Structure 1
């Protein structure tokens, strides 16, 4: 059995246990069925009863979901343990040649439960497989973490971001109000729950404006890399940001119109 991607030390240790546990479980169990050969099947259990287990003799079978191969089973792997419960989930498939030895699940379980030592190995195998998949899932999503937001208390008159600085955070005002200046001229204001400082993060350009707290403020600062993860993971955050930007554009347009009329 092996997994897509580069395995961690924890996964390597768990993977190394499985062949030995399978070997112990099959010790003394007569494999009396003739091997079967298959090639290019989309779902193993659309061809066989779900009470059937298999030992992979040659070739590779994939645990697959939505066309993506998640786990690969090769020679010596015992498969079909979970399929008896008839729950929706990934399928076992292959595009290649594979040779399997059928194992009657009921006869195999009688063999296991007749010996306390084998019962221990069986429990160990199930726990090991569960730990393997949980750790694999954690590794796959290790970068999709909750953004590490920092909260800051800002005094009235204090500068939050400065025009021309490098953008490394996106900010949200939790409480309080702030003013926006471009080249020393006030061009807008920011209220509670508004996001600001995002445009420079997206464009990679220096800050286009200075933001100064008008009142004492509590702000949330999200690092650039975490903000991008947040947008990817929570599309509603992107919608809120776009709404804020749209309101500011309307305000700036109106200010420009008023100045032109004056």
Structure 2
């Protein structure tokens, strides 16, 4: 079996163990049917009954969901276990030549349960598949990121960020209001739930403006590294940030129009 992308050492160990367990489960089992060859199969189980398993002899089969290959099976892999128990599963497909040996599910299960050692291998096989799925998902799916945020109480007139300073945090006003100044000229205002200080984090440049609390404020400060992780893991946060920036750009444009 192959998984897309860079896999962890734990996943590699599980894949190796699955291959060993498959060999142990098939030891002494009579593969009664001849191999079959297929090409360009979009869904294997549109051609065969679901109580049929398959041993891959040559070529590759792919687990596919919504047009995306999630995993690939090659020589020595048993496929179709989920389908044979009528459980929801991605389709098995092949873009090119693949050679398969059909295995009757019930015959294989009788072979497994006739020997306590093989029963142990079977249990281990299923547990390994489950562990593989969980470990792989933990690598591929980003958790909901909760940044290490610090809350600060700011007095009226206090500088929150200063023009020219290095950008280390991104801020959100929880309560209160603040004014934005560039070269001591007021260019904007910031209200509750608005994010500010993000541009310098992305551009890696010093702060382009000074923000001063107009009223007593409670603000949330998120370290720039955690803010970037938040944007990557929660696209809605990026949408909110873009909306805030768009409002400020519109306000600045209006100021320029009024001055002319």
Q: TM-score range by the shorter chain?
A: 0.7 to 0.9
Unaligned runs of at least 5 residues, structure 1? none
Gap change, CA 1:46 and 1:159, over 3 Å in 2: same
Any conservation in 2 of the 1:166–1:207 contact (CA below 8 Å)? Answer: yes
Aligned CA distance change for structure 1 residues 6 and 257 (closer, same or farther; 3 Å) = closer
1:82 is paired with a residue whose SS is: helix
How far apart are 1:232 and its partner, in Å?
4.9
Q: Which residue number in structure 2 is paired with residue 34 of structure 1?
A: 34
Give, in angstroms, the shift of residue 158 of structure 1.
Answer: 3.1
Q: Match of 1:12?
A: 12
Kindly report which structure 2 residues correspond to 1:1-262, keeping only aligned pairs within 5 A, or say none: 1-142=1-142, 145-156=144-155, 157-249=157-249, 251-252=251-252, 260=259
User: How far, CA to CA, are the matches of 1:241 and 1:71 in structure 2?
Assistant: 36
How many residues are treated as equivalent by the alignment? 259
Query: Over residues 131-156 of structure 1, what are the superposed CA-to-partner deviations in whole Å (9 max), with x where a residue is unaligned?
Result: 112111211235x6505241231431
Q: State the superposition RMSD in angstroms.
A: 2.5
Q: 1:35 to 1:247 in 2, by over 3 A?
A: closer
Structure-2 change in CA distance of 1:104 and 1:172 (3 Å): same
The structure-2 alpha-carbon separation of the partners of 1:137 and 1:181, relative to structure 1 and needing over 3 Å to count, comes to same
For 1:204 and 1:251, the matched residues in 2 are separated by 24
Could you tell me how far apart the structure 2 residues matched to 1:174 and 1:36 are?
A: 66
Give the conservation status (yes or no) of the 8 Å contact 1:153–1:216: no
Note closer, same or farther for the CA distance 1:57–1:246 as it changes in structure 2 (3 Å cut): closer
C-alpha separation in 2, matches of 1:209 and 1:187 = 9
Following the alignment from structure 1 to structure 2, what is the Cα–Cα distance between the partners of residues 41 and 243? 46
Q: Does the aligned pair in 2 maintain the 1:147–1:229 contact within 8 Å? A: no
Range 222-231 or range 86-95, more displaced? 222-231
Report the alpha carbon displacement of residue 250 of structure 1 after superposing the two structures with TM. Answer: 5.3
Per-residue deviation at 1:14? 0.6
In 2: Cα distance, 1:161 partner to 1:201 partner: 13
Distance in 1 between the 2:133 and 2:164 partners?
Answer: 48
Assess, with a 3 A threshold, how the Cα gap between structure 1 residues 186 and 88 changes in structure 2: closer, same or farther.
same
| Structure 1 CA distance for aligned equivalents of residues 68 and 34 of structure 2 | 31
**Structure-2 separation of matches of 1:36 and 1:139:** 36
